[in-house]
């Protein structure tokens, strides 16, 4: 099983991303859960969301306290929120930032795998808006290998309709452009 904790801000689409990912995983024949954890429910406030994906039935019904992967939609949360809290040994961190993995590693004092991609820049270019949630799904798929990009096509088309292709293009670019440092 892979467990992912997403850090973002209200309005950035973390909840949408975990739902899209879970729906796509289920459609691909896997078992999945996607759920949010809200503090104060307001735009811009820190938000945490979670995804579990496995090839067998998932019986756990609690929050994710020791994730395999932490995905950070908004790099300004680093230092504001303890993003590495509970991360499993050998865990991976994925950050939406134009910075290099080594710069983020130094900021976090983290020795595991760090991956970075300018998801916001990609979203602006591909979709015309600086909302990188679906873009960062591409980064997550590349780093984890949990499933292929094609698995997201149907759920993204269902959710976004006429703008789905822009989201899929952004996902593909993040998948291709992510920088990973072990």
In 3D space, the residue among 108, 81, 77, 76 whose CA is nearest the CA of residue 93 turns out to be 108
Tell me which of 131 and 69 has the higher pLDDT. Answer: 69
CA–CA distance, 32 with 25 (Å, rounded to integer): 6
What is the average pLDDT across 105-129? 94
Crossing angle between the packed helical segments 119-127 and 164-177, to the nearest 10 degrees: 150
* Cβ-based burial of 155 (10 A; exposed 0-12, middle 13-18, buried ≥19): buried
- Contact call for residues 98 and 130 (beta carbons, < 8 A): no
Query: Token pair of 1, please?
Result: 């099983």
Please tell me whether residue 32 adopts helix, strand or coil conformation.
strand
Q: Tell me the pTM.
A: 0.93
pLDDT for res 40:
57
State pLDDT tens for residues 11-48.
Answer: 788 889 999 999 999 999 999 999 988 655 667 778 89
State pLDDT tens for residues 153-171.
Answer: 999 999 999 999 999 999 9
pLDDT for res 38:
65
- Domains plus CATH for the chain? 2-181 (3.40.920.10)
Crossing angle between the packed helical segments 164-177 and 153-160, to the nearest 10 degrees: 140
């Amino acid at each position: 099983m892979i467990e992912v904790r997403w850090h973002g801000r209200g309005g950035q689409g973390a909840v949408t991303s975990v739902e899209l990912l879970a729906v796509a995983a289920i459609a691909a024949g896997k078992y999945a859960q996607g759920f949010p954890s809200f503090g104060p429910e307001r735009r811009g406030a820190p938000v945490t969301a979670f995804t579990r994906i496995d090839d067998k039935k998932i019986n756990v019904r609690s929050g994710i306290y020791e994730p395999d992967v932490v995905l950070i939609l908004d790099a300004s949360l680093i230092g504001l929120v303890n993003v590495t809290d509970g991360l499993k040994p050998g865990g991976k961190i994925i950050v939406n930032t134009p910075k290099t993995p080594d710069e983020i590693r130094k900021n976090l004092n983290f020795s595991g795998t760090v991956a970075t991609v300018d998801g916001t820049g990609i979203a602006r270019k591909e979709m015309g808006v600086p909302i990188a949630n679906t873009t960062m799904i591409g980064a997550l798929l590349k780093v984890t290998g949990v499933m292929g990009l094609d698995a997201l096509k149907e759920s993204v088309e269902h959710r976004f309709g006429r703008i789905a292709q822009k989201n899929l293009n952004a996902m593909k670019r993040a998948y291709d452009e992510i920088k990973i440092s072990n």
